[in-house]
Structures are given as C-alpha cells and as structure tokens.
C-alpha cells in the first residue's frame, strides 16, 4: 500500500507500507488502519481517523479528522438500500421506491463492457440474483446518474439511455447501482 503523508518541511510525500518506518509514521499522526481495510485511490483521510477491519473506502472518498469507521462498515447494512443513501451515493432521487437511472451504451444500444447485451427501447431486462452489497461490479445491470453516464461517454461514440428501477431490484449501491431488473428503456437526447 502507498499513501501520501504530510511532512512539515517538504509537504505531501508518497510513503510505501514496505518502508521500515511506515508504522511509526502512522502512529506519529495517530492514523490507524486495520488489517484487510481497503482504501481507494485519492481517498483523503484526516488525522486521528480510525478504520476498522474489512472496512472499504472508495476512490475519492473524504474522511474528516477524528472520524471512526467500524469493522465491516456498511456491509449488509439495510440503510445502504434506503432512498436517501441512494440519492447521496448515486445522485438519483427515488420517489415511492422507484427511480430513473441512466447508462452510457454503444450507438447500437449494446453495453460497453461485454458488447453482448442489447438494450431495447421500451423494454426491460431481468436476471435472477440476490442482493449483495459486497459486490460493486459483477453480475447484474449497472446504472447511474445522468451526469456520470455522460462522463463515462467521453471520447467515444455513445448513446445515453434511461430506465425505471425499483428499490427492491437494487443489488448493491456505490456511485452506481447494480440491479437485477429494469424496465421501460428510453433513449435520452439532451
């Protein structure tokens, strides 16, 4: 693991966990990172923050000074699947347990990842999977906010589509949702 640490005389410096003084450098700053914790790229963690075992911190996350994130934070937490949490993470507002989510696809309406799944206007998709917050990317359909779909489209030919997704069909929530079912695909022209 490599993290940036602040040094008074020279500012931010990249430090490798293989450095023999790594633990000492963390202790001097009162930073505690437990075994099996995962911290994404560009995450910012303040002094005195404590991160428990198996906690996962995504890319670009910001954690303030004195924050505490417990063991297995948000793993199997029902609040992850609340309308408020989905709004905070994905930036899509759900009403009455339904929301309109977006996706960037190839001009022929096939997915970018495999190029095999064909989305159809007015139709939906369905796959049998169980809810599992531990899986960010994997089986299922991935949808996000309009802004993130457009950002994903940069430097490629694309179309943006939307679909209605029900809360009960969401399998995991990150900066996108992984779902088992969606309906009423529409092409978005903005």
Task: Say what the pLDDT of residue 66 is.
Answer: 56
Domain match, 34 and 63 both: yes
In sequence order, what E strands does 21-140 have? 32-33, 38-39, 44-45, 50-51, 56-57, 62-63, 68-69, 98-105, 125-126
Residue 141 has φ and ψ, to the nearest 5°, of -105, 140
Domain match, 83 and 16 both: no
Domain match, 91 and 174 both: yes
Task: Say what the pLDDT of residue 64 is.
Answer: 57
Which of residues 50, 69, 88 is at a domain's end? 69
Task: Say what the pLDDT of residue 104 is.
Answer: 96
Q: How many domains does the chain have?
A: 2
Task: Say what the pLDDT of residue 80 is.
Answer: 86
The dihedral sign for the CA sequence 163, 168, 170, 171: negative
Domain match, 25 and 57 both: yes
Distances (CA, A) of 110 to 34, 106, 115, 150: 42, 5, 5, 16
- CA 142/CA 35 separation, integer angstroms: 30
For residue 89, with 0-12 CB atoms within 10 Å meaning exposed, 13-18 middle and 19 or more buried, which class applies?
Answer: middle
Q: What is the mean pLDDT of each run of 10 residues along the chain (190 residues)?
A: 75 79 81 68 65 62 58 57 90 95 97 92 96 88 95 92 97 94 94
Task: Say what the pLDDT of residue 135 is.
Answer: 86
Domain match, 51 and 95 both: no
Which of residues 35, 52, 69 is at a domain's end? 69
- Residue range(s) defining the domain that contains residue 35: 2-69
Task: Say what the pLDDT of residue 18 is.
Answer: 80
Domain match, 24 and 100 both: no
Lookup: tokens for 146: 């309009």
Domain match, 162 and 129 both: yes
Which of residues 69, 86, 104 is at a domain's end? 69
Domain match, 60 and 98 both: no
Domain match, 174 and 157 both: yes
Domain match, 63 and 138 both: no
Task: Say what the pLDDT of residue 65 is.
Answer: 54
Task: Say what the pLDDT of residue 53 is.
Answer: 59
Q: How many other β-carbons are positioned within 10 Å of the β-carbon of residue 179?
A: 26
Domain match, 106 and 31 both: no
């Amino acid at each position: 693991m490599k993290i940036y640490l602040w040094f008074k005389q020279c500012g931010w410096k990249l430090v490798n966990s293989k450095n023999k003084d790594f633990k000492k450098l963390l202790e001097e700053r009162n930073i505690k990172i437990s075994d099996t914790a995962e911290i994404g790229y560009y995450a910012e963690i303040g002094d005195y923050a404590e991160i428990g075992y198996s906690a996962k911190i995504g890319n670009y996350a910001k954690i303030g000074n004195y924050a505490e994130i417990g063991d297995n934070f948000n793993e199997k937490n029902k609040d992850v699947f609340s309308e408020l949490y989905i709004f905070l993470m994905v930036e899509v507002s759900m009403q009455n347990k339904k929301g309109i989510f977006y996706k960037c696809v190839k001009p022929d309406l096939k997915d970018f990842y495999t190029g095999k799944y064909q989305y159809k206007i007015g139709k939906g998709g369905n796959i049998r999977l169980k809810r599992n917050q531990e899986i960010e990317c994997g089986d299922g359909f991935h949808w996000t906010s309009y802004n993130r779909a457009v950002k994903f489209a940069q430097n490629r030919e694309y179309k943006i589509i939307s679909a209605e997704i029900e809360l009960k069909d969401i399998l995991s929530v990150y900066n996108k949702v992984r779902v088992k079912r969606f309906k009423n695909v529409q092409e978005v022209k903005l």
